[in-house]
């Protein structure tokens, strides 16, 4: 009893001795009152569309989200490894001004045109940008004019300077195609649109029309995408509601969802890999040549998938589209995430990739079949997708039900085992002939025996 009392008295004494540190208390109160900076409160709004890529995706896919040679916007601004192109941004701004100053568009007017859009532009970033107004507006003008001037030069509306290294050195433009479509490397499209409008001169026309910014952008990226002309024209002529260049190009692939057709009332099931689906009699064939690779269908035991070219550009583009869909609250149709999930289901090993390449569903310029399989499996890691609400939910369930049908599985397994290759067919045929001959021999031997007994 005395020992317990003494212990309690000691604890009470310690509590009496402990006092709140006023400085620590003030520090805590300050942290309570401060707004988050690395993921601002505005990050959940639809106006916020440019994000830092989540750490889980970076751990799965490495440096696929970082710009390699050019920084656009604030997230990678000032990095020494990107300074080479930073110098050329000023040269391109000078090139633009040399044409527009005679028409009254000076550097001062460019800055004044973007200044009213500063707050709206800041709200597009998920982080609080630690730049003052002058620095922020300068960055928007410099980066925006560089992109627009490059689009015009590549689109042959404005000539390149003689010997311009950005065009004469073959390795640079392919990096621009990738870097301009990275989620962390964006500026708002309305900034680009404003700069494009005020810097456009009457002579900048194609054969019949004045090109839009969307058209020039799609033409620029089409050196890697190789999309048909009708897709570029449709994307360019429709009312542009994209948030930035990544969103613009992404939207050109998105297929129109048939909501009622895809709505289901039962839980959606994931599907098996290509090898197992083939054993169940499910075939995979290439879709129409000019269709988006997102347009995947399933009818009568056949999955139809338009061809996708796996190369450095496409793998970077896929990953950044998925990252955008994972972060942006206004992205209701996560079709790239769903498509990557489908590929992740279909591909387990290099053999699955090998079959899809043989079927002209994947065109591999990325590496070995094993490297493609590894990329797909990593791309599907740590992504959130609601299969019940995705655009392929009905396809997932129909493939699952077809696979579960025992008659399909048994018949397909028989065909896969005995008729998959010419040699297996010849072996099965030889075994059948041998069986028939054995039965015939047994029959005639028995017949001779019983006929002799009767005699």
Mean pLDDT to the nearest integer, 406-427: 59
**Domain finish residue from 253, 281, 306:** 253
Q: Above pLDDT 90, what percent of the chain?
A: 65
- Beta-carbon contacts of 289 under 8 Å, excluding residues fewer than 6 positions away, are 306, 307
Average pLDDT of the residues in 208-229: 88
List of E strands, 197-258? none
Residues 249 and 263 in one domain: no
Same domain, 199 and 214: yes
Please state, for a pLDDT cut of 70, what percent of the chain lies above it. 84
Q: Are residues 279 and 191 in the same domain?
A: no
pLDDT in tens, 236-273: 766 578 999 999 999 999 998 754 455 566 678 889 99
Distance in angstroms (rounded) separating the CA atoms of residues 306 and 334: 19
284 and 248 fall within a common domain: no
Within a domain: 391: yes
Give this prediction's pTM. 0.84
In a domain, 20, yes or no: no
Residue 358 counted as domain residue: yes
Q: Do 220 and 92 share a structural domain?
A: yes
Q: What is the pLDDT of residues 287-301, one digit of tens each?
A: 988 899 999 999 999
Do 283 and 234 lie in one domain? The reply is no
**Lowest-pLDDT choice from 25-34, 72-81, 270-279, 389-398:** 25-34
- Tally of residues, the chain: 455
pLDDT in tens, 318-370: 999 999 999 999 888 899 999 999 999 999 999 999 999 999 999 999 999 99
Q: What is the pLDDT of residue 355?
A: 97
48 located within any domain: no
Residues 426, 403, single domain; the answer is no
334 and 327 Cβ atoms separated by less than 8 Å: no
**Residue 392 shares a structural domain with residue 291:** yes
269 and 223 share one domain: no
Banded pLDDT at 418 (limits 50, 70, 90): low
Whether residues 303 and 333 fall in one domain:
yes
Given the structure tokens 């015939």, which residue do they identify? 440
Domain-embedded: residue 24: no
Give yes or no: residues 323 and 247 share one domain: no
- Asked whether residue 5 is domain-assigned, the answer is no
CB 313 within 8 A of CB 173: no
Give a yes or no: residue 17 inside a domain. Answer: no
Lowest-confidence range among 3-7, 61-65, 283-287?
3-7
Give the list of residues 6+ apart from residue 188 with CB closer than 8 angstroms, or none: 49, 50, 117, 120, 121, 124, 243, 244
Domain count, the chain: 3
Helical axes 229-237 vs 213-225, angle rounded to 10°: 150
Give the SS3 label for residue 406: helix
What span, in angstroms and rounded, lies between the C-alpha atoms of 82 and 96?
22
pLDDT on residue 414: 56
Range of the domain at 437: 421-454
Candidates 284, 297, 254, 443; CA nearest to 361 is 284
pLDDT at 260: 46
Residue 160 inside a domain? The answer is yes
Co-location of 220 and 269 in the same domain: no
């Amino acid at each position: 009893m005395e020992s317990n009392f003494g212990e309690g008295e000691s604890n009470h004494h310690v509590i009496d001795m402990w006092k709140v540190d006023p400085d620590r208390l003030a520090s805590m109160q300050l942290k309570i009152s401060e707004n988050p900076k690395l993921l601002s409160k505005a990050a959940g709004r639809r106006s916020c569309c440019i994000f830092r890529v989540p750490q889980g995706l970076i751990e799965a896919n490495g440096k696929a989200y970082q710009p390699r040679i050019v920084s656009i916007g604030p997230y990678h601004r000032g990095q020494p490894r990107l300074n080479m192109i930073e110098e050329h941004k000023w040269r391109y701004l000078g090139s633009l001004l040399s044409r527009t100053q005679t028409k009254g568009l000076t550097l001062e007017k460019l800055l004044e045109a973007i200044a009213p859009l500063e707050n709206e532009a800041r709200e597009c970033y998920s982080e609080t940008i630690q730049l003052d107004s002058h620095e922020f507006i300068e960055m928007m003008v410099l980066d925006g004019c560089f992109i627009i001037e490059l689009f015009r030069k590549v689109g042959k509306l404005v000539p390149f300077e003689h010997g311009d290294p950005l065009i004469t050195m073959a390795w640079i433009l392919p990096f621009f195609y990738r870097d301009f479509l990275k989620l962390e490397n964006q500026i708002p499209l309305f900034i680009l649109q404003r700069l494009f409008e005020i810097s456009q001169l009457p002579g900048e026309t194609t054969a019949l029309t004045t090109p839009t910014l969307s058209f020039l952008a799609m033409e620029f990226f089409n050196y890697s995408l190789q999309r048909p002309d009708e897709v570029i024209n449709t994307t360019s002529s429709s009312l542009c509601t994209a948030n930035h260049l990544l969103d613009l190009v992404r939207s050109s692939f998105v297929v129109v969802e048939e909501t009622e057709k895809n709505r289901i009332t039962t839980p959606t099931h994931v599907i098996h890999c290509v090898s197992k689906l083939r054993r169940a009699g499910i075939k995979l064939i290439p879709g129409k040549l000019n269709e988006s690779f997102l347009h995947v269908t399933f009818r009568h035991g056949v999955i139809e998938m338009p061809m996708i070219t796996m190369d450095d550009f496409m793998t970077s583009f896929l990953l950044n589209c998925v990252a955008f869909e994972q972060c942006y609250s206004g992205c209701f149709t996560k079709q790239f995430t769903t498509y990557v999930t489908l590929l992740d289901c279909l591909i387990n090993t290099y053999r699955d990739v090998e079959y899809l390449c043989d079927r002209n569903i994947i065109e591999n310029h990325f590496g070995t079949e094993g490297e493609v399989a590894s990329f797909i499996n990593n791309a599907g890691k740590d992504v959130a997708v609601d299969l019940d609400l995705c655009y392929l939910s009905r396809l997932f369930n129909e493939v699952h039900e077809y696979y579960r049908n025992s008659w399909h599985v048994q018949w397909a397994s028989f065909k896969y085992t005995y008729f998959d290759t010419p040699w297996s067919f010849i072996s099965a045929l030889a075994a059948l002939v041998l069986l028939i001959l054995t039965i015939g021999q047994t029959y005639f031997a028995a017949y001779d025996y019983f006929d002799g007994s009767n005699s």
